[in-house]
């Protein structure tokens, strides 16, 4: 896989906590947390940051904007994150690394057939988007797009070892006659991301044009069918 989508096909890093954005409860005084309060506001700020990054981009989102959206003081944000770069690194470690591990399970079995592994990967992408609605839009805006800040920082964090391993896996399948030899290994995962993440990010627009949007299950099935069989009838 290329760094255009970042290598999410294999990983051995530990999983992290799930996230579910919500504002602070009414009546709580926004300020410097202590004791048992330490975990909840920090999680909230990460959740809010992801939503704002997906909505308006990282460059357009300040720590002050995150504070306003979360309903807390700027002092609370600075208590946890001194800079936006520090916040980005925490998001990568605590949110994207676990997702990377989850998606990498599709290729954990060295004996898995290509169709099964690719289907599991596509379904995994759809599952991630279902639990984290910010994921498709943020990925297109800040990872796939040229110049995205998240793209650069993830590439620096992850390196390219998994990228090389993924390409070698595909080349092995091709040498064994299990995959079309005309497929370009470095583009295979790019294609899967394009066939899943883009439709997921456009769900509302697709619904507006036709009156109904494809389900996530339909998107995953379509992606694998198109990749494995093309447009020729069975």
167 Cβ contact list (under 8 Å, min separation 6): 1, 185, 186
Q: What percent of the chain has pLDDT over 90?
A: 31
**Are the C-beta atoms of 97 and 83 separated by less than 8 Å?**
no
Question: Is the pLDDT at 35 greater than 60, yes or no?
Answer: no
CATH topology of domain 105-229: Tetracycline Repressor; domain 2 (1.10.357)
Spatial separation of the C-alpha atoms in residues 95 and 51, rounded to whole Å: 13
What's the pLDDT tens digit per position in 170-226? Answer: 899 999 998 888 889 888 888 888 888 888 888 766 655 556 777 777 888 888 888
Question: Is the pLDDT at 162 greater than 50, yes or no?
Answer: yes
**Are the C-beta atoms of 7 and 162 separated by less than 8 Å?**
yes
What's the pLDDT tens digit per position in 92-143? Answer: 999 998 998 888 888 777 788 888 888 888 888 888 988 999 999 999 899 8
Tokens of 202: 């456009």
Spatial separation of the C-alpha atoms in residues 165 and 160, rounded to whole Å: 9
Question: Is the pLDDT at 28 greater than 70, yes or no?
Answer: no
Dihedral sign for Cα atoms in the order 57, 60, 62, 64: negative
Question: Is the pLDDT at 36 greater than 70, yes or no?
Answer: no
Q: What percent of the chain has pLDDT over 70?
A: 79
- Across the chain, mean pLDDT equals 79
Spatial separation of the C-alpha atoms in residues 12 and 97, rounded to whole Å: 9
- Residue 130: the pLDDT is 86
Helices (H), the chain: 39-56, 63-70, 74-80, 84-91, 97-104, 114-131, 134-139, 149-158, 161-175, 185-201, 203-210, 216-229
- Residue 209: the pLDDT is 59
Top-confidence residue, 5 or 15: 5
pTM for the structure as a whole:
0.75
């Amino acid at each position: 896989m290329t760094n255009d989508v970042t290598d999410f096909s294999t990983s051995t890093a530990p999983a992290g906590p799930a996230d579910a954005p919500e504002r602070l409860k009414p009546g709580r005084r926004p300020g410097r947390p202590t004791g048992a309060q330490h975990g909840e506001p920090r999680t909230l700020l990460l959740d809010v940051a992801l939503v704002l990054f997906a909505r308006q981009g990282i460059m357009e989102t300040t720590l002050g904007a995150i504070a306003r959206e979360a309903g807390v003081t700027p002092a609370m944000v600075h208590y946890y994150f001194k800079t936006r770069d520090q916040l980005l690194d925490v998001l990568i470690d605590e949110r994207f690394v676990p997702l990377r591990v989850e998606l990498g399970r599709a290729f954990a079995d060295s004996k898995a057939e290509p169709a099964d592994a690719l289907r599991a990967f596509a379904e995994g992408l759809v599952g991630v988007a279902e639990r984290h609605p910010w994921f498709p839009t943020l990925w297109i805006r800040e990872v796939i797009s040229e110049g995205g800040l998240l793209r650069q920082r993830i590439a620096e964090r992850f390196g390219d070892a998994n990228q090389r391993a993924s390409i070698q896996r595909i080349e092995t399948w091709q040498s064994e006659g299990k995959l079309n030899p005309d497929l370009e290994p470095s583009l295979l995962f790019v294609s899967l991301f394009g066939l899943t993440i883009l439709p997921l990010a456009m769900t509302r627009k697709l619904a507006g044009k036709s009156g109904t949007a494809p389900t996530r299950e339909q998107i995953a099935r379509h992606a694998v069918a198109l990749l494995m069989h093309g447009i020729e009838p069975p």
